[in-house]
Structure 1
């Protein structure tokens, strides 16, 4: 019995090698069943053919298309920066789905009637799209890992109306707005939504307008990331809605030299030299971060800055503690708001506005 079993396994392995080519790297079992995409083939066609829970492996190469995922449990996995997804040439096929029409690269899309759950996007590069590299809406437990999102017109990796996401070990650089963006909604006003514990960790965010933006959301963790050469490292945005944005943790990040200049918009003044900015936030913990050499001359410049939101909502009950905040100008710590209950304790810093917070 044992001998027959071993013989059968050897036969299966040989058949798999014949189908994929002897030099092919190992792929997951689901991929061996047919979900392997090679240059010249369509990623979307593989997604359409897959069943919930399947894995699709995309081999090294450049793929000129946008990809829509609406099936739960699907994993889309490439070979790191050797797997590149970029917009198709004008007038060519691949522009006829909702993701392409919105100017995005990879879209994970649920609906108000039902989230799409447990999708994973891993180890690939998404570049050059008019809006976002990776865009998600109405998702739960989305996993984005080891993705490079660069040179996209608005956001690198972005989501709205989503819960319990894990965005980690990715690189977002040279995107038009935020490298990583988490929001309640991009097209509606309203109170902050609870993300259920979304985690943003271990990412490198550089040369964007803002490294990470949390807009009208609550209950998330931003930890162990590196922010450099953006106009602002971290921007927490709240407004007068109820519940208020906040109840989040910004911890153990490196926020160094975010001195790129970004011009004023209709909602915000110019941004330059901002480490962490809180506007209209409550009960947020800023702890154990290294925040150095963020230098500018705008109202939002400084190491850690509390600033009223564009609609006048105040920061309340936030705690800034145990951070190393040095070499930031005009101040390492700046409270430019009139909210109450904000505490600055145990930080290593030399300058503050008003004085006395170091």
Structure 2
């Protein structure tokens, strides 16, 4: 892309330091073995509805979108896997809030999502062993929002992806672009996280990971 430079972050670096809900069907939709499928032809119409009933350790497949909702993952072992899945905050209370919030939980996966138009894109907070991979987190800079308090010292609005007081995460092969502040922030005593193969472009505050604490 002329005039722009992509930055590869990592190598093998180790850093220390809303919608209608579907039914809970016991039968997998056609074309998949997963019991929890969020799609127009799936057995759920919203991600939050599937998360509410899925047990710990379950795989939730999400297809297409956009989905106008904020997603909170607080069950251990949930694997949220997207296929061309889009989470869009533009019509969610003026873009306020966090797109995907992984909080106080272990061994969660979030992969294959586009997360856009929130105050903050993906936040991994007080979590262990999270896998955040192959997501595109962009345009989290909602100017109609801007009233949320900091999550922690140094964690402001318009962040793309934040590891906050989390350890043992794998953050790989994500695209973090056009977010209003940091593309990637690691803070709050986060440690022993693997950061590899991520690309950052045109974020407001930086082009390399910011670390606090």
Larger helix percent: 1
Distance 2:49 2:184 in 1: 28
- Pick the aligned partner of 1:106 from 100, 114, 128: 100
TM-score (norm 2): 0.73
Structure 1 ranges of 4+ moved more than 4 A:
none
Q: Contact 1:61–1:83 at 8 Å: present in 2 too?
A: yes
TM-score (norm 1): 0.44
User: Any residues of structure 2 matched to 1:182-261 within 5 Å, and which?
Assistant: 182-184=186-188, 193=189, 195=191, 197-209=192-204, 210-217=206-213
1:164 Cα offset (Å): 1.1
- Which has the larger Rg? 1
1:42 Cα offset (Å): 1.1
User: Any residues of structure 2 matched to 1:37-76 within 5 Å, and which?
Assistant: 37-39=38-40, 41-76=45-80
2:158 matched to 1:158? no
User: Any residues of structure 2 matched to 1:134-145 within 5 Å, and which?
Assistant: 134-145=122-133
Distance 2:92 2:197 in 1: 36
Distance 2:190 2:80 in 1: 27
Distance 1:140 1:90 in 2: 28
Q: Contact 2:181–2:203 at 8 Å: present in 1 too?
A: yes
Q: Contact 2:90–2:117 at 8 Å: present in 1 too?
A: no
Task: Give unmatched runs, 5+ long, in structure 2.
Answer: 1-25, 142-157
Distance 2:59 2:190 in 1: 29
Distance 1:42 1:90, change over 3 A: closer
Residue 85 of structure 1 corresponds to 87
User: Any residues of structure 2 matched to 1:199-348 within 5 Å, and which?
Assistant: 199-209=194-204, 210-217=206-213
| 1:115-166 deviations in Å (ceiling 9; x for gaps) | x100000011001112x11111100011100000000021111121111111
Distance 2:200 2:90 in 1: 26
SS of 2:50's equivalent?
helix
Cα RMSD of the aligned pairs, angstroms, is 2.2
- Pick the aligned partner of 2:177 from 170, 173, 180: 173
